[in-house]
A and B are shown apart, each in its own frame.
Chain A
């Protein structure tokens, strides 16, 4: 959009371009160096990581940190990894199923109470979720869900975001599609399943990825509702790891690398969906 001023001559434009890219690269270093340092440190030995000042590169490259987290009965990091994977996958499926059905009803069907229902759901978007933590704790306690898988899978799916997000998308689909399907004798379930859902794949993928990320990264809720070492997900597990290894940084960083890899891979693969989901969330304002 912003093109270089037409009056600048060739070499001045070249110089501007060098400055421009220099700024981009400097910023890249700011954003990436901490992540690179995490990987470097995870490959150091305990002694190497204790040097003051710290050495730039691991020498030799050591598997120490990763060995510690693989064979550790007090901190079963692989088990946490598995728990996180199962929880985030189930959570994201639950959000997809419940939010898409509710959003379809609110966007495309006409019924008594639709306006009130939608207003109620959207209204809760303005209540900070942190202020509901105490009563929600009581509710999951009554359900006997404390320290189970359900406690990190289910309650978060009550969030209004998915319904709001998919409703916006469903509203943008042309009415003619359903009308044609209805004339062909399809009922609402078939229209939803065979017409609307296939057309909404991009929006569904975006919501699935965002729900997975949110659940994978959740920290505040699981540290209070999961206790047993074998039940933890990665974020509260990492807190425990920091508590038991204190300044044994190769081990702590190995744990952090393990927790980062899946979401970084997901980000690389689904970058467009994530970025689009985020930009669309801003446009509703």
Chain B
């Protein structure tokens, strides 16, 4: 709806004469510079911290850039080549972090797409307490990763933690090394992330569910469709754009995971849960190799772009 207004204005489709006069009058009073003056403060921020880093990142990636050294020679594509040649010093660690990120993304995204959908379907009806329960399920999301990281590091502590304590009460094994051993470390990181962010996706789904016309459900019910058939043939098609949005943003969020493994598993066991983002900042800021880290950032951004485009195509084709 909003776009219609804009398109009309841009084409100048026969506005009423009064409006025309008003526009001319306002243009006379406020001057040509006005639109640019309104934009200026944001554009300064955007230029320095939004556009410049893109250019600078490309430039850094073809230089050997050490914060400590005065000479920062041009090295062409060397920083990129190192990432792909198995005899370079960084090859093993880099691909291990890519692997860790891929494992986390593949394990977490299906749950982060399905569990919130379940929550949203549960909440998508009118009943006393609806707003209350929605708020409770959303609440963990307003906490930062530092808080939930510290909290779950504690809850998952093998000896002092609540999780093993509760499992013990239920008569289950109570000595699981949640944050130090495989496969528990991945289960923990995925589980914590589902607990933390499900409410966020659920709220997005709820908005999408509200946009599906009740008449469609009514018609389906008239035709004798079962609850499952209504879900399959009315809810899912109606949610398609929202579903695409949720999947795309969730893949990006999971691929950018950092705080959970930094605080909860602290990379353990060994460095197996050290993700790409963690490895990049460690390389660039702790080990002072900004050029190499910039090259990794660009390869990483390209990988994510490929995944996002694949997502779009996959879901667009299903439409037919």
Contacts and interface: CB of A to CB of B under 8 A. Distances in A.
A24 interface: yes
Given A1-B217, A110-B9, A158-B48, A128 B142 contact: no
B110 interface: no
A206 to B, nearest CB: 13
Interface in A1-35: 1-3, 20, 23-24, 27-28, 30-35
Given A31-B199, A160-B50, A239-B146, A183 B22 contact: yes
B285 A224 contact: yes
Contact of A135 (B9, B53, B131, B165): B53
B2 A168 contact: yes
B56 A285 contact: no
A169 B249 CA distance: 22
Interface stretch (A58-66, A70-78, A95-103, A197-205): A95-103
A130 B290 contact: no
Interface string B155-194: 1010111101100100000100000000000000000000
A177 to B, nearest CB: 11
Contacts of A271: 131, 135
B6 interface: yes
B160 A49 contact: yes
A80 B30 CA distance: 45
Interface string B35-61: 110110111011011111110110010
A240 B117 CA distance: 37
Interface string B66-101: 010000000000000000000000000000000000
Given A111-B36, A128-B252, A171 B2 contact: yes
A97 B41 CA distance: 9
Nearest to B134: A275
Interface string B256-267: 101100010000
Q: Which of A154, A158, A224, A264 has the most CB of B within 10 A?
A: A158
Interface of B: 1-3, 5-6, 9-10, 18-19, 22-23, 25-26, 29-30, 32, 34-36, 38-39, 41-43, 45-46, 48-54, 56-57, 60, 67, 119, 122, 124-127, 129, 131, 133-140, 142-147, 150-155, 157, 159-162, 164-165, 168, 174, 195, 199-200, 203-211, 214, 217, 241-242, 244-246, 248, 252, 255-256, 258-259, 263, 277, 280-281, 284-285, 290, 293-294, 297-298, 300-301, 304-305, 308
Top 4 closest A-B pairs, CB basis?
Answer: A285-B245, A217-B144, A282-B204, A279-B207
